[in-house]
Amino acid sequence: MVDTHCHLDSCRAPVAEVVERARAAGLNRIATVGMNDASIERSLAAASDHDGVYVIAGRHPNEAGGWRPADIDAVAAAAADHSVRAIGETGLDYYRDTAPRDDQRRAFEAHIELATRLDLPLVIHTRDAIDDTLAMLRGTPTTVIMHCFSAPERLDECVEAGYMCSFAGNVTYPKATALADAARAVPDELLLVETDSPYLAPQEIRGKPNEPAHVVMTARHLAELREVSYETLEATIEANAMRVFGW
């Protein structure tokens, strides 16, 4: 199994302990996300120190305040490292709205251009902004990953566009019925799973800190939703992640 999206530098426990527990749970690869320049450096260090750890590098939309065109240069420089397998997470967040929306849009456009130029996947964060997010993504030639998929009402549009749909622990919540329906309906070839740890712990440990090892809980729930064995779902996820991230 793999965790295609987590934040190792935000987990409470030391990275080495978190990675060790993930391996004990059966994970062979982890993608950790750098959300700003300092976070990218910590993510690159984690990948250097631990086999099987890879990096998604970008500027989170909540970190996009005051965006200048030159700000993308740090992301581009990081992407030269072999461990960086995707650009992001980028997108639009109108829920917290900690960064001006115009700055978020400029940052988003720069990330789309960079991912396209480098032929790397683009990892999307969208919250209360799905209309604008999908409008800005329309026609993007590189692979798009809808991190923590949260737009079941737009699933058909995402599938038609060929976007990867990555499900996190919130798909296990009893009231998340629309999200569960979407998880059942996503074609095999567009399915991914993640923790977004230390956030969004699955129902089994809800309220506690999340970490990559817990992706197994979400994956087992997805297997039940899709009425396949865990082994079948695991093989699907691993094949998709290998194709998308090239690891």
Q: For residue 228, what pLDDT is reported?
A: 98
pLDDT tens for residues 64-106?
999 999 999 999 999 999 999 999 999 999 999 799 999 999 9
Question: Got the DSSP string for 21-73?
Answer: HHHHTT--EEEEEE-SHHHHHHHHHHHHHSTTEEEEE---GGG-TT--GGGHH
- What is the structure's pLDDT at 120? 98
Which superfamily does CATH assign the domain made up of 2-245 to?
Metal-dependent hydrolases (3.20.20.140)
Residues of the chain with pLDDT under 50: none
d(CA 201, CA 211): 8
Q: Model-level pTM?
A: 0.97
Cβ distance 101 to 58 under 8 Å? Answer: no
Angle formed at CA 61 by CA 50 and CA 153, multiple of 5 degrees: 100
pLDDT at site 97: 77
Which residues make Cβ contacts (< 8 Å) with residue 216, sequence separation at least 6? Answer: 1, 25, 26, 27
Angle between the 177-185 and 215-226 helix axes, to the nearest 10 degrees? 70
| DSSP character string of 96-114 | T--S-HHHHHHHHHHHHHH
The CA distance from 173 to 156, in Å, is 22
Which residues does residue 33 pair with via DSSP β-bridges, in sequence order? 56
To the nearest 10°, report the CA torsion of 56, 62, 67, 69.
Answer: 20
Point out which residues pair with 157 in neighbouring strands. none
What residue ranges do the domains of the chain occupy? 2-245
